[in-house]
């Protein structure tokens, strides 16, 4: 199961999981464009539309999943929004609340309902955080707060769910070539300057590709990472090493 599956890192993850032969549940907001998800070539595909921040939608999602497939083995909590880009003292209260609702509450609900479905069988949950979830950053108060929450919940869930054979890890990407990043650039007066400033501090000198993040997600979802749980792994071109 992949949330935020219709584009960006979620779509790249669906593609790689489909290539690995996995049956896929793709979850995204109402009105999402499912065209590329359908082209991924999953052996079996279930598309569900809903709100990652809604408990009722998560209950419906898991019910549909279990009715179709009978089990859930892997959950990728990827759905998220960026929110406003502005100084902390100007950050709108309502946007902060909405970012936390989607990015933090959405992961909480995924962990809660996903773990219930995996109980007694085991499984792997991968949460998509950010380098903003293990550092400070600037001008994205809601995003940074929500992604720190994701890392904290990853560690808590890993310790609570280990006895059930459920592993929980997080990936922490630097800026990635996705529509979310491009939208953040467009909100500035000089998108090219924003890109130059962000890539300048990354030792590898570029944004990540969504497929590169999906590589790590697939590893954490698989038995190749069977002794890994509670980690929050930077995948950042050396940003946090610099």
Residue 87's domain is classified under what CATH number?
3.40.50.720
- Annotated active-site residue 207? The verdict is no
How crowded is residue 60: how many other Cβ atoms within 10 Å of its Cβ? 14
Domain of 175?
A: 2-241
Q: Is the pTM of the predicted complex or chain greater than 0.75?
A: yes
Residue 181 and residue 3: Cα distance in Å, rounded? 18
Residue 240 and residue 110: Cα distance in Å, rounded? 28
11 phi and psi, to 5 degrees? Answer: -65, -45
pLDDT of 183 reads 78
16: helix, strand or coil: helix
Residue 171 and residue 87: Cα distance in Å, rounded? 26
Residues in the chain: 242
State the average pLDDT over residues 180-187: 79
Choose among 171, 146, 162, 136: nearest CA to 12: 171
Q: What is the dihedral of CA 157, 158, 161, 166, to 10 degrees?
A: 120
Show the tokens assigned to 148: 């720190």
Residue appearing with tokens 């949950």: 125
pLDDT of 191 reads 81
Tell me the HSE value of 97 on the side-chain side, using a 13 A CA sphere.
3
How crowded is residue 173: how many other Cβ atoms within 10 Å of its Cβ? 27
Judged against a pLDDT cut of 90, whether residue 134 lies above it is answered with: yes
147: helix, strand or coil: helix
What mean pLDDT, rounded, does the chain reach?
95
How crowded is residue 185: how many other Cβ atoms within 10 Å of its Cβ? 16
pLDDT of 185 reads 77
**Rounded to whole angstroms, what are the CA distances from 135 to 102, 138, 151?**
20, 10, 11
pLDDT band at 188 (very low <50, low <70, confident <90, very high): confident
Convert the pLDDT of each residue in 102-133 to its tens digit. Answer: 999 999 999 999 999 999 999 999 999 999 99
Contact, 221 vs 24, CB < 8 A? no
**Of 27, 91, 108, 143, which is the active-site residue?**
143
Choose among 41, 47, 46, 49: nearest CA to 68: 46
Domain count, the chain: 1
pLDDT of 80 reads 96
Q: What is the dihedral of CA 39, 225, 220, 48, to 10 degrees?
A: 60
């Amino acid at each position: 199961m992949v949330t935020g599956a219709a584009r960006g890192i979620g779509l790249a993850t669906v593609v790689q999981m489909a290539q690995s032969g996995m049956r896929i549940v793709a979850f995204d907001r109402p009105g999402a464009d499912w065209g590329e998800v359908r082209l991924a070539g999953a052996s079996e595909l279930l598309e569900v539309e809903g709100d990652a921040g809604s408990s009722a939608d998560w209950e419906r999602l898991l019910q549909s999943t279990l009715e179709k497939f009978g089990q859930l083995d892997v959950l990728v909590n990827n759905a998220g929004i960026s929110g406003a880009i502005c100084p902390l003292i100007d950050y709108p209260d309502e946007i902060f609340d909405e970012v936390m609702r989607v990015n933090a509450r959405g992961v909480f609900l995924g962990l809660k309902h996903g773990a219930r479905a995996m109980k007694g069988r085991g499984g792997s949950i991968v949460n998509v955080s950010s380098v903003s979830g293990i550092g400070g950053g600037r001008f994205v108060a809601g995003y940074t707060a929500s992604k720190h929450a994701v890392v904290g919940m990853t560690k808590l869930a890993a310790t609570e769910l280990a006895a059930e054979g459920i592993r929980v890890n997080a990936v922490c990407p630097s800026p990635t070539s996705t529509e979310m990043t491009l939208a953040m650039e467009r909100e500035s007066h000089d998108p090219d300057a924003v890109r130059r400033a962000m890539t300048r501090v990354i030792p590898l000198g570029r944004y990540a590709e969504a497929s590169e993040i999906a590589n790590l997600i697939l590893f954490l979802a698989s038995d190749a990472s069977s002794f890994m749980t509670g980690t929050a792994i930077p995948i950042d071109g050396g940003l946090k090493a610099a």
